[in-house]
């Protein structure tokens, strides 16, 4: 099964039907696509910029634990998770855009503990925002709407998840909660998806100077299930660390998540009612986090 590649520069210059159709088709079938030609740094074209974000993991554990995500209801901060039952072994830091309207609070180290780190994160958020905005526009067109529809209707709240997996590290099967996940993959591989209609895990090989995109549960709900929030997991079986950076673009906390008018009739259940009743995104997000087994 081939994962398609979307050229973001071509989308910027022409916003062609071909590209929009390719995205719509990917979101309904294989449920993921690569993106090339964005302004985001990748592991190949600007390793140093990404190292500025990931050097947090080199700190002693007692420093990292000063911003423990385990004490924060909305999972902001750092965690080392080693859980045999849930099949998880990895470290992560989860941070939201300081300029966003997010309802969860970030946690930061003192500047002298990791000089320049907060600035590097803020710089990355600016780059990420322009890419997220373009992909939101492409999604809006692919949904048959005006290009600013998603951003104007649901807003766009960027957050970033920095990841480090030791050799043997893993992340269990799950789907993401929000609208859009942008995955920067290093050269080690290890990400797998289970496309719609398949019981087979498909490797997502890293491709130079690209990132991998897929949608989350909230956008699946907005399309009443026509687009698919793909289950995915990580198995890092090589030596050395595997690094990843996932950038989420999610609805505003107070947005109402329910199927768009032209999607309500897509997906009737046995009672002839659409499956996705309206819910405030904040409640949806918390409920889904509580459902995760890790």
In the complex, the residues that contact Fe ion under the rule CB under 5 A are 176
- Compute CA distances 216 → 54, 93, 200, whole Å: 24, 20, 20
Q: Quote the distance between the C-alpha of residue 2 and its chain's center.
A: 20
Question: CB-wise, 19 or 104, nearer to Fe ion?
Answer: 104
Question: CB-wise, 88 or 176, nearer to Fe ion?
Answer: 176
- Tell me if 112 sits within 8 A of 130, measured CB to CB: no
CB of 183 to Fe ion, least distance (A): 8
- Tell me if 138 sits within 8 A of 108, measured CB to CB: no
Question: CB-wise, 74 or 176, nearer to Fe ion?
Answer: 176
**What gap in Å lies between CA 227 and CA 5, rounded to an integer?**
17
- Tell me if 293 sits within 8 A of 233, measured CB to CB: no
CB of 71 to Fe ion, least distance (A): 22
**What gap in Å lies between CA 223 and CA 259, rounded to an integer?**
5
* H helix runs in the chain, sequence order: 8-14, 17-28, 47-54, 61-64, 117-142, 149-154, 217-222, 281-291
Residue number with the smallest Cβ distance to Fe ion? 176
Question: CB-wise, 80 or 149, nearer to Fe ion?
Answer: 80
CB of 198 to Fe ion, least distance (A): 18
Question: CB-wise, 100 or 178, nearer to Fe ion?
Answer: 178
CB of 232 to Fe ion, least distance (A): 6
Pairing of the two strands 77-83 and 242-250: unpaired
CB of 176 to Fe ion, least distance (A): 4
CB of 75 to Fe ion, least distance (A): 12
CB of 180 to Fe ion, least distance (A): 12
CB of 246 to Fe ion, least distance (A): 6
**What gap in Å lies between CA 69 and CA 254, rounded to an integer?**
23
Question: CB-wise, 114 or 135, nearer to Fe ion?
Answer: 135
**What gap in Å lies between CA 128 and CA 40, rounded to an integer?**
6
Question: CB-wise, 204 or 222, nearer to Fe ion?
Answer: 204
Q: Which of 82, 102, 86, 91 is nearest to 56 (CA)?
A: 91
- Tell me if 16 sits within 8 A of 45, measured CB to CB: no
Question: CB-wise, 150 or 234, nearer to Fe ion?
Answer: 234
**What gap in Å lies between CA 108 and CA 113, rounded to an integer?**
10
């Amino acid at each position: 099964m081939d994962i398609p590649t979307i050229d973001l520069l071509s989308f910027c210059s022409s916003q062609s039907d071909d590209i929009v159709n390719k995205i719509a088709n990917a979101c309904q079938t294989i449920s993921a696509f690569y993106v090339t030609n964005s302004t985001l740094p990748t592991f190949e074209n600007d390793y140093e910029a990404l190292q500025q974000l990931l050097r947090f993991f080199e700190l002693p554990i007692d420093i990292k634990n000063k911003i423990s995500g385990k004490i924060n209801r909305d999972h902001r901060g750092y965690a080392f998770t080693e859980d045999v039952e849930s099949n998880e072994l990895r470290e992560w830091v989860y941070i939201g855009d300081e300029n966003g309207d997010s309802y969860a609070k970030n946690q930061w180290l003192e500047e002298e503990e990791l000089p320049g780190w907060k600035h590097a994160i803020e710089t990355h958020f600016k780059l990420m925002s322009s890419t997220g905005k373009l992909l939101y526009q492409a999604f809006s067109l692919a949904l048959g709407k005006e290009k600013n529809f998603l951003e104007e209707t649901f807003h766009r709240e960027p957050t970033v998840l920095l990841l480090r997996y030791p050799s043997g590290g893993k992340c269990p099967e799950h789907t993401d909660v929000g609208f859009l996940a942008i995955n920067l993959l290093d050269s080690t591989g290890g990400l797998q998806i289970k496309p719609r209609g398949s019981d087979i895990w498909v490797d997502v090989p890293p491709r130079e100077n690209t990132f991998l995109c897929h949608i989350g549960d909230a956008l699946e709900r907005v399309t009443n299930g026509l687009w698919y929030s793909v289950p995915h997991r990580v198995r890092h079986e090589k030596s050395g660390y595997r690094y990843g950076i996932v950038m989420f673009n999610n609805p505003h906390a107070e947005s109402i998540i329910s199927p768009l008018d032209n999607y309500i009739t897509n997906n009737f259940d046995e009672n002839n009612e659409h499956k996705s009743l309206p819910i405030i995104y904040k409640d949806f997000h918390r409920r889904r986090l509580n459902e995760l087994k890790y």
